[in-house]
Chain A
């Protein structure tokens, strides 16, 4: 299908972009990579009055290494991050998770911030941000605020972003001396996961476990000792949800099978 008509605006600076958002609020949508937005436009799931195209704004095109965290601008594509030289060293969890995000062709355009802003409950990047305890930088005409990942994504496709705010960047904490692992089960590679699992283990065996696809947003919990038992208990608590792709029971089952393996892999990687 084709999108309904909308106005198209291409600001030349970040200031112009936030000024436009202040004017239009929730009538407007930010166009960065368009890999989630344009399908929704084409299917007429959304009908914004205005698209604000920030895809070529230099101000949003950088990856900044601040030492203890890496800040990724709103126009940085997933493949740009995947090709970043320091990725394996500073953000090993992203190096493991990014190949699961869509396909080579969609990662060429799809942005890191766009995926976080879109907030699909089974998407890989929001899960990685949550388990790492990262943050989202929101900018508006009123100023800038930094929101922790756990407070940012509130539910399915729902975030703490106000209508006049732009997801200007995301901050992934750099981790050193820890083991990471990521895996998921999807119908086909590149599809949204039915269940996705990320784990970060330290050398003493303490694990931070994150799961996607089990609730409206990524869930994170510390797991010590008996991993399989802890995962089973958590799976019952989370319940999971039912959709076209999987029943809640299948989701719980997938989690119980997948998570202990991912935890083990992260522990071995840490050792």
Chain B
């Protein structure tokens, strides 16, 4: 049985975008703060801190998760992927990121890291979603400047360009 008492720190070791990293965390440390303040990975943004805005969404073992609703101690030993892990080491954007740029799917960019991580998970499960399905996933995010049309277009573009052969009705 693992136990960490309040105000006591424990070593949390995790794999972040392919690198093994570790730092100390209290039980109450949120994963979002752990990433930003303890590991210096500030690509993950913090908006509402109660799971509504979606800005802090990261992948834990490939699954899109609100990092503000996850404790850092729960991420011990897990595989994490954040927005920093999407582009190639030389900075070349991945297809989803490139589609966001092409379709003006971001303006201030605050909400973008979370949205990119959500669709990274979702498109892996459902590579050719309908527009309705894209909009449904997008309801888990709030964007206050660009609006959602460009984001939907960007996801549609990347989904259709990855299609080996267009499937039947609805894609």
Contact = CB atoms under 8 A, between A and B. Distances in A.
A binds B: yes
B140 A106 contact: yes
B69 A12 contact: no
Contacts of B19: none
Given A10-B2, A11-B1, A108 B63 contact: yes
B70 interface: yes
Contact of B50 (A6, A42, A49, A104): A42
B1 A2 contact: no
B156 interface: no
Given A8-B4, A39-B51, A34 B70 contact: yes
Contacts of B65: 105, 108-109
B113 to A, nearest CB: 13
Interface string B35-58: 000000000000001110010010
B139 interface: yes
A9 B49 CA distance: 23
A6 B65 CA distance: 22
Contacts of B5: 7
A43 interface: yes
A3 interface: yes
A244 interface: no
Nearest to B51: A39
B136 A104 contact: yes
Nearest to B68: A42
Interface in B14-35: 26-28, 30, 33
Contacts, number: 105
Q: How would you classify the secondary structure of chain B's contact residues: helix, strand, loop or mixed?
A: mixed
A216 interface: no
B136 A105 contact: no
A2 B33 contact: yes
Nearest to A49: B6
B162 interface: no
A31 B33 CA distance: 19
B66 A5 contact: no
Contact of A189 (B51, B64, B66, B136): B136
Given A104-B136, A108-B64, A43 B6 contact: no
Contacts of A31: 71
B74 interface: yes
Interface string A1-41: 11111111111100010000000000000010011001101
B50 A43 contact: yes
Given A2-B30, A6-B28, A8-B27, A38 B70 contact: yes
Nearest to A17: B1
Interface in B53-95: 54, 57, 63-66, 68-71, 73-74
A103 interface: yes
Given A38-B70, A42-B68, A5 B50 contact: no
Contacts of A35: 51, 66, 69
Contact of A105 (B27, B30, B140): B140
B3 A105 contact: no
B74 A7 contact: no
Contacts of A66: none
Interface of B: 1-7, 26-28, 30, 33, 49-51, 54, 57, 63-66, 68-71, 73-74, 118, 121-122, 136-137, 139-140
17 contacts: A3-B28, A4-B28, A7-B4, A8-B4, A9-B4, A10-B2, A38-B69, A39-B50, A41-B28, A42-B68, A51-B71, A102-B140, A103-B54, A104-B64, A108-B65, A188-B139, A189-B136
Given A10-B1, A51-B71, A108-B121, 9 more contacts: A7-B5, A7-B6, A9-B3, A34-B69, A34-B71, A105-B64, A108-B63, A109-B63, A189-B139
